Amino acid sequence: MRVLSVFYILMKRKSFMKVLTSFVLAIGLIFLVNQLIAQALENSRREGPLRYEDFIYDASVKTPLLFATGAVVSNDVLQPPVLDLNQGGTMRLEFDWLGKDQPQFRAKILHCNANWQPSALNDVEFLPDFNEFPIYDVRVAQGTKVGYAHFWLDLPRVKVSGNYVLVVYKGRRESDVVFTRRFMAFDQKVSVGGRVSFSQDIPRRNTHQQVDFALKYGNYPILNPKQDVYIVIRQNYRWDRTVVGLKPYMVQEFDRTLEYRFFNNENLFPGSNEFRVFDIRSRQVKGINVARLDFNPNFNAAFLFPDDGQAGKSYLQQNDLDGLFAVSTRDDFGDPDYFPVTFTLRSAEREDGKIPYVVGGFNFFELSKDNQMHYEPSAQAYQATILLKQGVYNYMYAVPDGNKANEVPIEGTHSMTQNTYEIFVYHRSPGSRADQLIGYQVIHN
């Protein structure tokens, strides 16, 4: 009774009520603001426009792979995501999700035209099934310090050729996209033969490469070859290094051949340089270009040997993967782990203010905060630390050129560099509502 009496007296005091009311309002306001901030951040990530390109929306996604299975090349992750519709097999998706949780994921497939914008095709026109594919196959990594779950999905075989974007999202909300990946399916209707040579432009003869090719379309119906065929040439599997929309230099109607030879540099590419490489397949033994391995309770860290810029230096031939990477481990226990890998580029601070980035196939050659370097005055070098799965990696250092990566100011460029080129041939037949990929060819110099 005494406690109740004291409480009754306090409740009658206006000052106590005022303090109590203010405290409750403050707590409620903090909770509301936090909820609004969290919701705004979540919406800003999920409700933005979908990007029809290789892009990771959620930082918990790591190492998204997409490659052809079956047919001539089986489960080769070093092959580009290009499917031959005249062979067996389909596309396989694999990716990791960092952390202890295992969300449910679904995937859908979008058909695009040659310019990577959505086509007018309905789902039933290019898919045999309903366009929603739950990803049930998952395995929790064993024997790793960095916890993750590995997901995989064999996609249904598409029915028509063209460009595709695979969209992976959490739960049932298609707006909750975690990443997108491009792939192509071709139906070989034409034959393409080409070669890579030094530039015919004398000032660029030592720095650039020229891609000439011919297209034979035989009995395939093309009414207006100069206008109806759309060409894309891609260097080293990079979507930021393409030449598009070339028109044939000559049409040989009798031979039904299109000649693509040019004299105004339309088909030139910078030769660039051979990719740098490092090997973190082992937790215990330092691989190629690894200077130090640190062992911590929660992770193992790799430090690469410091690199120097190569611009202005002589060309040195060496084997590489043309920018690709291969996940693998040489350890006798557990799954491949994730290492924080530290890159060091010895250099004075750049006077042009352009900050270098570490780029390669592992990050789609994108310029993002994850691979942006920072200057360390004490080391007189730029450094960056990137979380990567065990394997063998190709990489370069690049600076921004607009929104693209330009490695030439740091790596240099040579016409003798060994590069891979892909030629994509698109055509829209009369009455069709989408571009078809009717030819695909890979050439090397």
The whole-angstrom separation of Cα 231 and Cα 445 is: 20
- What does the domain layout of the chain look like in residue ranges? 55-186, 191-271+419-444, 276-411
SS3 state of residue 8: helix
First to last CA, the chain: 95
Nearest 5°: phi and psi at 314? Answer: -70, 155
Residue 402 contacts residue 240 (beta carbons within 8 Å): no
Question: What stretches in the chain show pLDDT beneath 50?
Answer: 1-12, 14-47, 72-75
> Which has the closest alpha carbon to 419: 155, 207, 138?
207
Residues recorded for the chain: 445
SS3 state of residue 186: strand
Q: pLDDT digit string (tens) for 320-351?
A: 999 999 999 998 888 999 999 999 999 999 99
Q: Does the reported pTM lie above 0.85?
A: yes
CATH class of residue range 55-186: mainly beta
CB 183: neighbour CB atoms within 10 A? Answer: 21
Q: 47 in the Ramachandran plot: left (φ > 0), alpha (ψ -120 to 50) or beta?
A: alpha
Q: What CATH architecture is 191-271+419-444?
A: Sandwich (2.60)
Rg (CA), the chain: 27
CB 441: neighbour CB atoms within 10 A? Answer: 19
CB 171: neighbour CB atoms within 10 A? Answer: 10
**Which DSSP category does 253 fall into?**
T
Q: What are the tokens at 71?
A: 């047919």
Cβ neighbours of residue 260 closer than 8 Å, sequence gap 6 or more? 194, 212, 213, 214, 215, 231, 246, 248, 249, 267
